[in-house]
A and B are shown apart, each in its own frame.
Chain A
Amino acid sequence: MAGIYVHIPFCRKQCSYCDFYKSTLLENKKTLLVSLMKELDHKANYLEGDRIETIYIGGGTPSVLSIEEINLLLSKISAVYKVSDKAEITFEANPDDLNKTYLERLYNNTVINRLSIGIQSFIDRDLRLLNRRHDSTKAKHAIRDTLKAGFSDVSIDLIYSIPGMSMDEWICNLNTAFSFNIHHLSAYFLTFEPGTCIYGKLKNKEIDQVKEEQSLEQYKKLIEIAEKAGYIQYEISNFSLPGHLSKHNSGYWSGKKYIGIGPSAHSYNIKTRQWNVSDNAEYIMKINQNRTYFEMEHLNLKTRFNEYIMTGLRTKWGIDLKEIEKKFGTEFYRLIINKALPFLKNNDIEEKENHYFLTSKGIFIADYIISAMFLD
């Protein structure tokens, strides 16, 4: 069981908070697509013949692709890899690209069966600060039309702790989202990544970061409202109706292999992780000249263990102590039990059926706990 991620490194406009690799020079789209196809060939053996259960076309903005281009990619994948009939195939889209015709064709003329829409907020002030291309009306229409087109697995992204966002506004955003009966929600608090436009505004004191206390309250509210609305929190920032969690993303957290195609994309096959160059021109050139276009790290036992702890604890499945003993040995098993003690005592972690989970309290300081549980 494995996954394929394809990175479409183009956006029509640069959002103020975003530090993903992407370019606004859409004219390179055609050449890049050719390189993506080549990389799909190169990576044919990386997954050691595992069947592909999930495909995720993300970005950047995949919705800059035409239906024909999407199909070119997807058919290439099917040609090179063994793709399961029941594969989950997700497509990321921006609301401003989701007009009715595009949506209908996505649904009817491609094998895509899951859509993830970058809504971020239903408040125009927020959307302007984030420098998004859509407004709140467009956001609502996009969700409505996606569902109307027939998609039965629809996810949206929301951002909270945006400077100026009140608690009431956040609650309102959540209620609006759930009122559409979307199947899945990913909600992130706004982070200020160095190099982004909003980071500069923060440094220039044009805006203030939302206070930690307030951000925490909004997170708590998110968990509370999502649960009331019948959504399951299956990861720190991910909520879904039963049966609608993202299989692809869950793969990342349960150590499934994946390949990442395209500039800046990462791949993993248990023994190694590797990541492609984050530059379209360099990527295209290196692929064409058959030069190395990625960096790689070999994962030793300790690193694999730390990654297991990090990804596992973030999910509702927690970490499996039996599995730790089996995969990493008694020594590691013993160590983790010791390291967990203070957190168990403090009710930040709980143990159920040989698994450790973050409690509803521990979840707020997940990083603090995870780093303390790491082996050095």
Chain B
Amino acid sequence: MPSKEEDRCMENIRNFCIIAHIDHGKSTLADRMLLTTHTLSERDFKDQVLDNMDLERERGITIKSHAVQMDFILEGKKYILNLIDTPGHVDFSYEVSRSIAACEGALLVVDATQGVQAQTISNLYQAIDHNLEIIPVLNKMDMPSAMPDEVRDQIIDLTGCSREDIIEASAKTGYGIDRIMKEIVRKIPPPKGDPAAPLQALIFDSVFNSFRGIFAYFKVFNGEIRKGEKVKFVATGRIYDADEIGVLKIKFQPRDVLYAGDVGYIISGIKSAREVKVGDTITHVSRPCDKAITGFEEVKPMVFAGIYPVDADDYEELRASLEKLQLNDASLSFVPESSAALGFGFRCGFLGLLHMEIVQERLDREFDMDIINTVPNVSFKAYTTKGEMIDVHNPSGMPEPANLDYIEEPYIIAQVICRSENVGPIMTLCIDKRGTLKNQLYLTSNRIELTFDMPLSEIVFDFYDKLKSISKGYASFDYHMSGYRKADLVRLDMLLNGEMVDALSSLIHRSHAYNFGRRVCEKLKELIHRQQFDIAIQAAIGSKIIARETVKAVRKDVTAKCYGGDITRKRKLLEKQKKGKKRMRQIGTVEVPQSAFLAVLKMD
């Protein structure tokens, strides 16, 4: 029988996340709440304190969801608030969906100067799907450009809430925070769940720590978990001792027991990253639960690219690093592949280009891996003349032309919200990207929602950046898959001195092929260093060469003077020249710098 004490305990818990479009002020609002509740002292404070990855701080965006526990006293009663700050960028929406599963409520933050944007809508729908209580917050009210009336109308339209439900706030000045805190306690229901039932806890995130091993983050749905107990991970069937459990304050805080409704972490001597699956259920060995909690939907990668170690000897280490990274990034997927040019590596699936970039950076920074990233592509369906369908994640996986009947490529429905004055250029951009306009809806007199039907491959490269620059940051964008359609695609190969470099091949719409091939040749010419012989760079479709450039041989590379005072400087210069060469990959006789494999991304 649960004691009265524990009953009350659950009554005093509030689990909520902060969701919004990118940059609308989630992390700043979290800061403010951490300060108000004295979870963090002024002394330890820094802006967006939960964004603790260097990458997050440098880029000023949240990449990972961050959970943190706060104590809050209202009318003499002490509450435990478990807050999860989530990322706003579309590439990290999987982080949001997992956070939502651990909560009963959500603060929907809307920037009063920007209004409702694409990810405001998509994240809100996720939260509503999980029956979360929504508290709308109109943030950045301190800014002169705030448009409270207009944006309030947008929020009412979207959520169906009443005007009074919307809290005006400024995460910067602290205005409105008290009311937000109160409404969290009043409106968001405490977690449900039976503390007496068999243990059922959902793993919603995990992280690898090089000192302490693997931490799994979970929310207890039913029952309780005590330190030292034998627990089982349902999906993997593995059994562990709960060596340490605890709650996620600013630092990890060990506890002896966690009850239904609590959010916490477990360290349990898990040996390998493969043993932890985000979405798995933890239960007791002695008294297991009947069934696992429904986990998370498998994420569908949108973009694929090869990741190879620069040094072939590092292949196994790369695998281990990817596994560890996957712990903390459940949306990353990878399978081994090999390339004639690059040897053994992995084909990785990402949710978008930013995601790819972040994975690349994290491999470098957190795991010290020197990698080559190949040209990204979307996945295609190839139908052979025998009527077979093959999923193609890699240009080299395309069947021989003779056996190929046709190819299908993925299409999306893209929603762009923009200002009316930007409609023209945005239409041009989308049509240039093979999109067709499906719908045009005036949200207000100067805000329009455009709906396009377009191939996913067209947004993979530079669509997002272009959209941003055309609209001076005001357009937002969201998309979902709408199925596969026949496409006139060709495989564009790149040849270096006549040798095909499979890692540089791409699948591309025929109408773009010539222009693209020419530009890749030009870019490679810029990136490939001169060697002792001429290097021919060619773009080809099948056996037909469609573009060509030459990197002229080094004819003269000699310093005139090397006297007593020149030796140190000269030596350092040549050592640097040497270092540059080290980061290159030998393809046939040609040395190709790492950056060349991403050349296509760097074209404007």
A residues bordering B, Cβ < 8 Å? 3, 5, 188-189, 191, 212-213, 215-216, 219, 236-237, 249, 252-253, 258, 260, 264-266, 268, 273, 275, 297, 303, 306-307, 310-311, 314, 346, 348, 363-368, 370-372, 374, 376
B291 at the interface (CB under 8 A from A): no
Give the chain B neighbours of A252 by CB distance below 8 A: 562-564, 567
B532 interface hit (Cβ, 8 Å): yes
Which A residues touch B562, using CB under 8 A? Answer: 236, 252-253, 310-311, 314
In angstroms, Cα B555 to Cα A306, docked, is: 23
CA distance in complex: A297, B557 (Å): 27
Does chain A have a CB within 8 A of B571? yes
Chain A residue nearest in CB terms to B580: A371
| Residues from chain B with Cβ under 8 Å of A310 in the complex | 562, 567, 570-571, 574
Q: How far is the CA of A3 from the CA of B563 in the complex (A)?
A: 13
Q: Are B564 and A258 interface neighbours, CB within 8 A? A: yes
Q: Which residue of A lies closest to B558 (CB)?
A: A366
A213 touches B555 (CB 8 A): yes
Which residues of B lie under 8 Å from residue A237 when comparing CB positions? 560-561
**Given the complex, which residues of B lie within 8 Å of A253, measured CB to CB?**
562
Number of A-B pairs, beta carbon distance below 8 Å: 96
When chains A and B are docked, how far (Å) is the Cα of A38 from the Cα of B437? 83
Query: B582 near A: Cβ within 8 Å?
Result: yes
Q: In the complex, A120→B556 CA distance in Å?
A: 21
The chain B residue sitting closest to A365, CB to CB, is B557
| Residues of chain B contacted by A189 (CB below 8 angstroms) | 560
Minimum C-beta distance from B584 to chain A (A): 12
With CB as the reference atom, state the residue of chain B lying closest to A297: B568
Tell me whether A365 and B563 are in contact (CB under 8 A): no
Task: Provide the residues of chain B in CB contact with A370, threshold 8 Å.
Answer: 574
Tell me whether A346 and B574 are in contact (CB under 8 A). Answer: no
Contact B556 A365 (CB under 8 A): yes
For the complex, what is the distance from the CA of A266 to the CA of B563, rounded to whole Å?
10
Q: List 7 A-B contacts (CB under 8 A).
A: A3-B564, A266-B568, A268-B564, A268-B567, A303-B571, A307-B567, A371-B575
Query: What's the least CB distance linking B575 to chain A, in Å?
Result: 6
Q: Give chain B residues whose Cβ lies under 8 Å from the Cβ of A258.
A: 564
The minimal Cβ–Cβ distance linking A187 to chain B, given in whole angstroms, is 8
Q: Is the CB of A376 within 8 A of B575?
A: yes
Q: Are A367 and B558 in contact (CB under 8 A)?
A: yes
Contact B564 A5 (CB under 8 A): yes
Q: Cβ of A275 and Cβ of B558 under 8 Å apart?
A: no
Whether B386 sits at the interface, judged by CB under 8 Å, is: no
**Which of A264, A363, A368 is close to B532, meaning CB atoms less than 8 Å apart?**
A368
Q: With a CB–CB cut-off of 8 A, which chain B residues contact A365?
A: 532, 554-558
A307 close to B560 (CB less than 8 A): no
Contact present for B560 and A188 (CB under 8 Å): yes
Query: Bound complex: CA of A264 vs CA of B569, how far in Å?
Result: 13
B residues within 8 A CB of A364?
555-558
Residues of the A chain whose Cβ atoms lie less than 8 Å from the Cβ of B579: 376
Q: Which of B561, B563, B565, B574 contacts A367 (CB 8 A)?
A: B574
Do A266 and B557 have beta carbons less than 8 Å apart? no
> Shortest distance in angstroms between B579's beta carbon and chain A's nearest beta carbon?
7
Given known A-B contacts A307-B567, A310-B574, A212 and B556 have beta carbons under 8 A apart: yes
Q: CA of A196 to CA of B555 in the docked complex: distance in angstroms?
A: 26
Docked CA distance A275–B558 (Å):
24
The listed residue (B532, B559, B565, B581) touching A366 by CB distance below 8 A is B559
> CB distance B565 to A374 under 8 Å?
no
- The answer, yes or no, to whether B578 is at the interface (CB within 8 Å) is yes
B interface size (C-beta, 8 A): 24
**Nearest chain B CB to A358 CB, angstrom units:** 9
CB distance from B267 to the nearest CB of A (A): 40
Q: CB of B577 within 8 A of chain A?
A: yes
With beta carbons under 8 angstroms apart, the residue of A236, A265, A363, A376 that contacts B565 is A265
Q: Is the CB of A366 within 8 A of B557?
A: yes
Q: Please give, as numbers and ranges, the residues of chain B lying within 8 Å of A376 by CB-CB distance.
A: 575, 578-579, 582
- Closest CB in chain A relative to B455 CB, distance in Å: 45
Interfacial chain A residues near B561, Cβ < 8 Å: 188, 237
Neighbouring A residues of B564 by C-beta, 8 Å = 3, 5, 252, 258, 260, 265-266, 268
In chain B, positions 140-169 with a C-beta closer than 8 Å to chain A are: none
- Complexed CA–CA distance, A236 and B581 (Å): 24
CA distance A356 to B164 in the complex (A): 87
By a CB distance below 8 angstroms, the chain B residues around A366 are 557-559
Cα A367 to Cα B569 in complex, Å, equals 13
Structural contact, B578 and A374, CB atoms closer than 8 A: yes
Interface pair A216/B577, CB less than 8 Å apart: no
CB neighbours of A275 from chain B (8 A): 565, 568
Q: Considering the complex, which residues of chain B in the window 146-199 have a beta carbon less than 8 Å from any beta carbon of chain A?
A: none
Q: How far does the Cβ of B512 sit from chain A's closest Cβ, in whole Å?
A: 36
- A275 vs B571: C-alpha distance when bound (angstroms): 15
B556 touches A306 (CB 8 A): no
Question: In the complex, what distance in Å separates the CA atom of A252 from the CA atom of B571?
Answer: 13
Contact with A along B526-555 (1 / 0, CB 8 A): 000000100000000000000000000011
Contact pick for B555, options A3, A216, A311, CB 8 Å: A216
**Please, which residue of chain B has its CB at the minimum distance from the CB of A159?**
B560
Distance, CA A314 to CA B558, complexed state (A): 9
Given contacts A310-B574, A374-B578, contact A264 B558 (CB under 8 A): no
Residues of A within 8 A of B578 (CB): 371-372, 374, 376
CB neighbours of B563 from chain A (8 A): 249, 252
Complex alpha-carbon distance, A371 and B568, angstroms: 14
Give the distance to chain A from B568, nearest Cβ to Cβ, in Å.
Answer: 5
- Shortest CB–CB separation between residue B355 and chain A, in angstroms? 34
Residues of A within 8 A of B571 (CB): 303, 306-307, 310
In the complex, given contacts A253-B562, A364-B557, what are 11 additional A-B residue pairs having Cβ atoms less than 8 angstroms apart?
A215-B556, A219-B556, A249-B563, A275-B568, A310-B570, A310-B574, A365-B554, A365-B558, A371-B575, A371-B577, A376-B579
**Min CB distance, A100 to chain B, in Å?**
30
| Residues in A neighbouring B556, C-beta threshold 8 A | 212, 215-216, 219, 364-365
Closest-CB distance, B553 to chain A (whole angstroms): 9
B196-219: contact bitstring with A at CB < 8 Å (1 yes, 0 no)? 000000000000000000000000
B568 lies within 8 A of A191 (CB): no
Give the distance to chain B from A202, nearest Cβ to Cβ, in Å.
17
Residues of B within 8 A of A268 (CB): 564, 567
What residue in chain B is nearest A237 (Cβ atoms)?
A: B560
A38 to B561, CA, bound (A): 29
CB distance from A159 to the nearest CB of B (A): 9
- Chain B's nearest CB lies how many Å from the CB of A308? 10
CB proximity of A315 to chain B, nearest CB, Å? 10
List the A side residues contacting B558 at CB < 8 Å: 236, 363-367
Contacts of B582 in A (CB 8 A): 376
B575 near A260 (CB under 8 angstroms)? no
Is B560 in contact with A191, judged by CB distance below 8 angstroms? yes
Q: Which 8 A-B pairs have the closest CB atoms?
A: A188-B560, A371-B574, A366-B558, A371-B577, A368-B557, A266-B565, A216-B556, A371-B578
Q: How far is the CA of A268 from the CA of B570 in the complex (A)?
A: 15
Query: Residue of B at shortest CB range from A252?
Result: B564
A367 touching B560 in the complex, CB below 8 Å, given contacts A297-B568, A310-B570, A346-B532: no
Q: Are B559 and A266 in contact (CB under 8 A)?
A: no
User: How far is A314 from B557 in the complex, measured between Cα atoms in Å?
Assistant: 12
In Å, the complex CA distance between A253 and B566 comes to: 11
For B568, give its contact among A219, A264, A273 (CB under 8 Å): A273
Do B575 and A306 touch across chains, with their CB atoms under 8 A apart?
yes
Smallest Cβ-Cβ distance to B565: which chain A residue:
A266
The docked-state distance in angstroms from the alpha carbon of A216 to that of B555 is: 8
Chain A residue, CB-CB nearest to B552: A212
Query: What is the bound-complex CA distance between A349 and B581, given in angstroms?
Result: 20
Instruction: For residue A362, give the distance in angstroms from its CB to the closest CB of chain B.
Output: 10
Docked pose: A264 CA to B566 CA in angstroms: 11
> 1/0 per position for B565-598, CB-CB distance to A under 8 A?
1011011001101110110000000000000000
Q: How long is the Cα–Cα vector from A49 to B584 in the complex, in angstroms? A: 47
Q: Given the complex, which residues of B lie within 8 Å of A374, measured CB to CB?
A: 574-575, 578
CB-defined contacts of B581 to chain A, threshold 8 Å:
371-372
CB-CB under 8 A from A363, the residues of chain B are: 558
